[in-house]
Structures are given as C-alpha cells and as structure tokens.
Chain A
Amino acid sequence: MPRKTMVEAIRDAMDVALQRDENVVVFGEDVGYFGGVFRCTQGLQQKYGASRVFDTPISELGIVGAAVGMAAYGLRPCVEIQFADYMYPAYDQIVSEAARLRYRSNGQFTAPLVVRMPTGGGIFGGQTHSQSPEALFTHVSGLKTVVPSNPYDAKGLLIAAIEDNDPVIFLEPKRLYNGPFDGHHDRPVTPWARHPQGEVPDGHYTVPLGKAAIRRAGAAVTVLAYGTMVFVAEAAAAETGIDAEIIDLRTLVPYDLDTIVTSVEKTGRCVVVHEATLTSGFGAELSALVQENCFYHLEAPIVRVTGWDTPYPHAQEWDYFPGPARIGRALKAVMEA
C-alpha cells in the first residue's frame, strides 16, 4: 500500500473529491498556482483548472463568506485558512452564517462547506502560527469539528467532511504533517513513510465523522486525546509503563460518547489532553461528560493536561507544549490517587 505524508494524504483527499464531484471547489490564500504554504493543494490547479482551484485575496472573511454563497448555490467549497490563527476575521461568517443557515432557513439553504486550517504549535511559529482554537468551534451549534491525527484518517475524514451536508471545520495538526511527532522535540521524527498509519489507500474511502478510534488498548487509565496529543500520549504511556487506553477522538463534535464511556467504565480513571489553553477548552467538556456519565466508575479525579492559559510563546515553546513528561506525571498521579 502506498505511504503518504499527512500533506499528501490531505491533497489526495481533495484530488479524489475534485475528481468525483464537479461541484467541489478549492480556494484560499496561495492555494492555487503555488499549492498552499504547506503544499496541501500542490498540483490541483494544474489538474483541475483555475476555475475550480484558485488563489484568493487575503481576506479570510471573504473566503468563507464567498464559500457560504457558493454552498447556497449548490457547490461544495473546501477552503483553506492559511493558519487557524488567521481564522478570526471569518468567525462571523462561520458562526452566524455557515453554522446557522440550514436552521434559520428551515433547510431551504444549506452550507455544505469545509474550512481547512493548520492548527497547533511545535514549529516555533509564535502566537500567530501555533494556536489551537477548536473550542471556539465546538461551542457553536451547527458545526462539526474534526481533528485528524494521521494520514489514513486525514484522507478519509476529509473526504467524509467534503461529502457531508453540513459545515465542517477541519483542523490539521501542522506538527503531524510530516510524521507522528511524539513531543520529543529534541529527537528526529519518524517519517510517515515508516509508520503504519502512513499507509493510505488510493482512491475513494471515508472515515466516518463522529467516531473515535482506540489507538492503544489498556486497562489502567483512559486518555482522551486528539491530533498531535495522540502520539504524545502514546509516548507517555510507553515511558511510564502505565497501561493506558488511548482514545483518539478524531471528531470533537459530534463526539463519540459511547467509546469514551465504555473505556472509562472499564479503567475507572481518565486523563484529558489537548494542546489548546485550559480554561473553557474542549477538555472541560470532555471532563464534564466523563463526570456526568461515569461518576460511579471513577476511582480518581479526572486530570487535564493542556497548554497553559497564556498566548502561545515563541522561545518558551517547549515549556508551553504539554509534552510526554507532563502527561506521564499526570498518568502517575491518576494511578496513585
């Protein structure tokens, strides 16, 4: 089976979607001729023409606003916001327009669009190229929010997102574009070419939205993670020797409560991990869900390991990033509680 980086898998997903459905269009800043700053759309304009894959003015509001109009017309836009950190000018169009259109028009108009954006840090991007704003989307009714953690899922989830009839926010952990980064920033990253999840079938397949995956089966403690943190949690489990069950949520909303509850009822312990800031982060929702649904199975308080409630710093990136050591300490603390 061919192996692909996450960038190649994402490009492949758009290629498949563009090929299969003439209503799919792809656009954003630097997305056309150049193929995107992370190269996710490289070659697509050459293959499908500039009327289906094209560059836009630097206006995130314009990109998403135009996409809403196109979706109302009947197209399926898959647009790129160059960095999730640049999303804020488009927020009104996402929250008040794309997310509400089906509801407020009673289904007369819908917004089947995908907004792709690289998320997370670990590349010395400073505060404007490192943020993880997923909670700003999970808080909005009408949106689906997806965070893949590997090339296979990235392709299958992106195709599913493009085919979905509701607006989907597709957050791509940029630190995973080239390999399964496990938080050990001082070590080389294994390329996806040597990782089993780098195996990406050709052609069309989907990974269903709303379904989590168990990345590591375990009996001692449940770790709820997504995106980059899946591999960081795996490293922490390996290094502490704690038999953690690591759940990769893949879709944050709608979330897969059944998989979460089944696991926590089995282990009786839960650690929630994300790179985004702590307060009102998606981990707060996960923690509340576990408490509401698994209280009588819990043997220890739920612990969250997240980025600090500061802007994402530049020089202090690795003090900010919730790496394997911090997750490992949390796992031990939960086991000893």
Chain B
Amino acid sequence: MSDRKPLSFHVPAPAVRPGGTPDFSDVRISLAGEVRRPEVDVAPEQIRDLAYSIIRVLDRDSEAVGPWAGLLDDEALLKGLRHMMTLRAFDARMQMAQRQGKTSFYMQHMGEEAVSCAFRVALEPGDMNFPTYRQAGLLIAGDYPMLEMMNQIYSNELDPLKGRQLPVMYSSREHGFFSISGNLATQFIQAVGWAMASAMKHDTRIAAGWIGDGSTAESDFHAALVFASTYKAPVVLNIVNNQWAISTFQGIARGGSGTFAARGLGFGIPALRVDGNDYLAVYAVAKWAVERARRNLGPTLVEYVTYRVGAHSTSDDPSAYRPKTESDAWPLGDPVLRLKNHLIRRGVWSEERHKQAEAEILASVITVQKEAESHGTLHSGPHPSARDMFEGVYEEMPPHLRRQRQQGGI
C-alpha cells in the first residue's frame, strides 16, 4: 500500500450559477487613468504589468482621465456613439427578425459594441480584419452598407454571399473584413499570414486578428502567436474576453493563467489589457497597437475585458447557466451609456438629443430593413438560385460538378 495522498482532479467553476447572487469581486479593476502609457517602441519585457492591469479612460464621473485620454475630439466621439447605437438598433431588429422566422440565426453584440466600433476607427483603408462573429461594429463603423448586411442575414436575392453562409458570417474585402468562418480561431493565424505577406511585399497595410476568450484554447491561437512572434508580423491580435464561451465561463479556457493577455508574454509579444466597455480606452489602445504594427515594431496582443450581455446566439439560453441579473452586476458598465454620459459631461450631448438620435437611428434601420425584405427573406420572396450552389466551388466548374448539377435537374 502506498502512503501517498491520492491525487485529486481540478475542474474550474464560475463563482455563481443561476439562482445565486452575481459576484465579480474577483475581477480586479484598475482605476481609470491609473495605468501608464508606454512609448510604442517599448521593449515587451518592460511592460509585462500591462498584461495584468486594465487600461481605462472614463472614470466614475464620466471624465476622460490619464495618459490614454485626449485622443478623440467631440466630433469623433459623437460619431463613435452613433456607430454603437446603430449596431445596437441593428441587433435589436435582426434579433426580432430571427424570432419572426425571417432568418435562421442571429448573434447580437449587446455590451460589446465599443470593442469593434472603436477599433475600426484606429485602422486605415486597406488594413484587413480577420474577425469572429461578434465584430459587426467593424462594418458599421467602416461604412459598409447596412443593406448588404441584412441581405446576407436574410439570404435574399441580393445576398452578396449568394446564400452560402450562415447569417452574420459576412465578408467584404473592400471594407477590410475577411470572410468569417464558423470554425473558431482559424482566422487568427490567417491574420498573421496576411500580415507576413504585407511585410514581404513591403506594403504599409496591417492586419488585425480577432478571437474570443474561449477560442484562445484552440491550437490556431498558439500557432498565431508563435508565427507572429517569430516573423514580427505587423498584426494586432485581439482577444475579446466577454466572460462566456456559450455556457462555459472564461476560467475553463484561461486555466491557471492570470489573464488571457498574459498568454502573450511567453512569446515576447507586448500584451495589453483594456476596458472593453470604454470606447475611449479601446480606441487609445487600438491606436497604440496599430502604430506599433505600422512602424514595423511587430505584433501586439490586446485583451478587451467586456461582458456578453445577450445570449451567445439566438439558439442559446443564458438563464440556464448564469444568474439573470449577472449583466447588471458587471462592474465595467454599458459602453453606450458610458460614452453618452461622457459626451453629456463634455457639454456636447444631452438626454433629449440621445432619445432623438435613438429614434432617428431606429427609423433608418427600419427603412433599410424594409428595403432588404423587399428582396426576400430566408423563407419567402426572391432568393439565390439553386444553380448558385454549384458555382464558385472552384474557379472553373469541373466536369464532375457539372454532371451532378445536370443530374439534379438544376
């Protein structure tokens, strides 16, 4: 008989489940303005602490404070607010359209609007995002026509992807938005490859990769970090930590590491953590990381600390795995509300103007929605032809596909 103590098996679990009282006391929140702003050419080992703090600009009084503040003027901030409000209104309408049976599936951004909306503004034309399914702010803030987005969601006759893709899996080369894959994390290493190509060709364009907290567990994430580190690729690698991977809390993917950003440290990649619900902070950090890439200083890993207020998708029910009131307890607040209050504080916005803008935006989204629906929805009206199904598998249709199309009478 061994006198050794038996081993025990460890499975991390969230602090609270449905029925419990939400508790985020373990999330260490830095004070707004507290975290320093290093020069972009800083050596990665000099800023290891930035992988553990949270860069924040907006304080409790809605003031922009600290070294990361002051980058955006009133006009830019008002535009940013409008982008986020548009995305929220768009989400609300599309969520409802899915419930009405006009499409099969939808994924909303509630609570995460600042991340993609603010990041997009830090890019230049020609830069390429390799997004996941919850960064439609890249399109909204990049002036991609909302009509095209809806046509895609409805798989109607004007769907730019001809009905081949699940709703929200947009693609627009012209708007720097790489085709979304439902297989998670694959795009992270592709972003690095694209950035490597840009460097090989002595281009000036950079890439941005996107991934969720849960998908950082995929091998693609680690391949991306090692390739980005080895070849000093001009890429910004973004982790959106919205706390939940469907029903799985972020601790399952994070394991014993303090933060997701800290994953970058072993690769010698500068890693920053930022308040993902603070439009000003997201923009400031994005700008910093983009400049590093543009100046050929290599990759940056950024973790956006945020919270997925809504369900993972229209096929998900979060009340089955987390307290219903958890989102209200989220300590970083709501990104739209925070920017709104900041703009009011700056004296360039008001409750009335906000209400008015909300109504205007909703009306314009509804107008576009009506137009999209006049071109069909998933189950009614005009839609891509069955012949389209056989096109585009290859550049030229090979004989065996042509035979199959004929056999199908299509």
Q: Is the CB of B171 within 8 A of A108?
A: yes
> Given A96-B181, A102-B393, A142-B393, does the pair A69, B169 have CB atoms closer than 8 Å?
no
Kindly list 17 other residue pairs between chains A and B, CB separation below 8 angstroms, not including A102-B395, A109-B173, A110-B395: A25-B197, A56-B227, A59-B219, A62-B224, A65-B193, A65-B223, A65-B224, A67-B193, A69-B193, A69-B194, A69-B197, A73-B201, A97-B186, A103-B393, A105-B179, A257-B399, A257-B400
B92 at the interface (CB under 8 A from A): no
Q: Is the CB of A69 within 8 A of B130?
A: yes
A21 at the interface (CB under 8 A from B): no
Distance between Cα atoms of A108 and B159 in the complex (Å): 13
Q: Is the CB of A103 within 8 A of B164?
A: yes
Q: In the assembled complex, which residues on chain B have CB atoms less than 8 Å from the CB atom of A257? A: 399-400
Q: In the assembled complex, which residues on chain A have CB atoms less than 8 Å from the CB atom of B128? A: 72-73
Q: Is the CB of A105 within 8 A of B189?
A: no
Q: How far is the CB of A33 from chain B (nearest CB, A)?
A: 15
Q: In the assembled complex, which residues on chain B have CB atoms less than 8 Å from the CB atom of A105? A: 161, 171, 173, 179
A214 at the interface (CB under 8 A from B): no
Q: Is the CB of A141 within 8 A of B393?
A: yes
B326 at the interface (CB under 8 A from A): no
Distance between Cα atoms of A72 and B181 in the complex (Å): 14
Q: Is the CB of B193 within 8 A of A70?
A: yes
Q: Is the CB of A106 within 8 A of B161?
A: yes
Q: Is the CB of A69 within 8 A of B186?
A: no
Bits for B211-246, please: 1 = Cβ < 8 Å to A, else 0.
000000001100110110010000000000000000
Bits for B179-198, please: 1 = Cβ < 8 Å to A, else 0.
10101001011111111111
Q: Is the CB of B230 within 8 A of A57?
A: yes
B165 at the interface (CB under 8 A from A): yes
The 9 closest A-B pairs by CB, nearest first: A69-B193, A66-B193, A65-B189, A62-B223, A254-B398, A69-B190, A105-B179, A73-B197, A69-B194
Bits for A62-80, please: 1 = Cβ < 8 Å to B, else 0.
1001111110111100000
Q: Is the CB of B178 within 8 A of A72?
A: yes
Q: In the assembled complex, which residues on chain A have CB atoms less than 8 Å from the CB atom of B130? A: 69
> Given A73-B194, A142-B393, A254-B398, does the pair A106, B160 have CB atoms closer than 8 Å?
yes
Instruction: Show 16 residue pairs from A and B whose CB-CB distance is below 8 angstroms, ordered by the A residue.
Output: A57-B227, A59-B223, A61-B220, A66-B189, A66-B223, A69-B197, A73-B201, A75-B200, A92-B183, A93-B220, A96-B186, A101-B179, A104-B171, A106-B160, A109-B173, A254-B398
Distance between Cα atoms of A2 and B207 in the complex (Å): 45
Q: In the assembled complex, which residues on chain A have CB atoms less than 8 Å from the CB atom of B324? A: none
**Residue in chain A with minimal CB distance to B235:** A69
Q: In the assembled complex, which residues on chain A have CB atoms less than 8 Å from the CB atom of B193? A: 65-70, 72-73
Q: Which of B171, B186, B399 is close to A92, meaning CB atoms less than 8 Å apart? A: B186
Q: Which of A57, A70, A97, A104 is close to B226, meaning CB atoms less than 8 Å apart? A: A57
Count chain A residues whose beta carbon lies closer than 8 angstroms to a beta carbon of B.
Answer: 45
B9 at the interface (CB under 8 A from A): no
Q: How far is the CB of A284 from chain B (nearest CB, A)?
A: 15
Q: In the assembled complex, which residues on chain B have CB atoms less than 8 Å from the CB atom of A206? A: none
A188 at the interface (CB under 8 A from B): no
Q: Is the CB of B162 within 8 A of A69?
A: no
* CB neighbors of B among A248-278 (8 A): 253-255, 257
Q: Is the CB of B395 within 8 A of A108?
A: no
> Given A59-B226, A73-B197, does the pair A103, B392 have CB atoms closer than 8 Å?
yes
Distance between Cα atoms of A266 and B106 in the complex (Å): 56
Distance between Cα atoms of A46 and B350 in the complex (Å): 65
**Residue in chain A with minimal CB distance to B394:** A166
B172 at the interface (CB under 8 A from A): yes
Q: Is the CB of A106 within 8 A of B162?
A: yes
**Residue in chain B with minimal CB distance to A165:** B395
* CB neighbors of B among A102-151 (8 A): 102-110, 141-142, 144
Q: Is the CB of A108 within 8 A of B173?
A: yes
**Residue in chain B with minimal CB distance to A113:** B193
Q: In the assembled complex, which residues on chain A have CB atoms less than 8 Å from the CB atom of B178? A: 72, 109
Distance between Cα atoms of A56 and B178 in the complex (Å): 24
Q: Is the CB of A102 within 8 A of B394?
A: yes
**Residue in chain A with minimal CB distance to B182:** A96
Distance between Cα atoms of A110 and B183 in the complex (Å): 17
A196 at the interface (CB under 8 A from B): no
Q: Is the CB of B197 within 8 A of A93?
A: no
Q: Is the CB of A62 within 8 A of B227?
A: yes
Pick the most buried of A73, A103, A107: most chain B CB atoms within 10 A of its CB.
A73
* CB neighbors of A among B131-169 (8 A): 160-162, 164-165, 169
Q: Is the CB of A89 within 8 A of B392?
A: no
Q: In the assembled complex, which residues on chain B have CB atoms less than 8 Å from the CB atom of A109? A: 171, 173, 178-179
**Residue in chain B with minimal CB distance to A256:** B399
A297 at the interface (CB under 8 A from B): no
Q: Is the CB of B186 within 8 A of A93?
A: yes
Distance between Cα atoms of A68 and B197 in the complex (Å): 11
Q: How far is the CB of A162 from chain B (nearest CB, A)?
A: 14
Q: In the assembled complex, which residues on chain B have CB atoms less than 8 Å from the CB atom of A144? A: 394
Q: In the assembled complex, which residues on chain A have CB atoms less than 8 Å from the CB atom of B164? A: 103-104, 106
Q: How far is the CB of B5 from chain A (nearest CB, A)?
A: 37
Q: How far is the CB of A337 from chain B (nearest CB, A)?
A: 29
A51 at the interface (CB under 8 A from B): yes
Q: Which of A65, A108, A165, A255 is close to B186, meaning CB atoms less than 8 Å apart? A: A65
Q: Is the CB of A106 within 8 A of B392?
A: yes
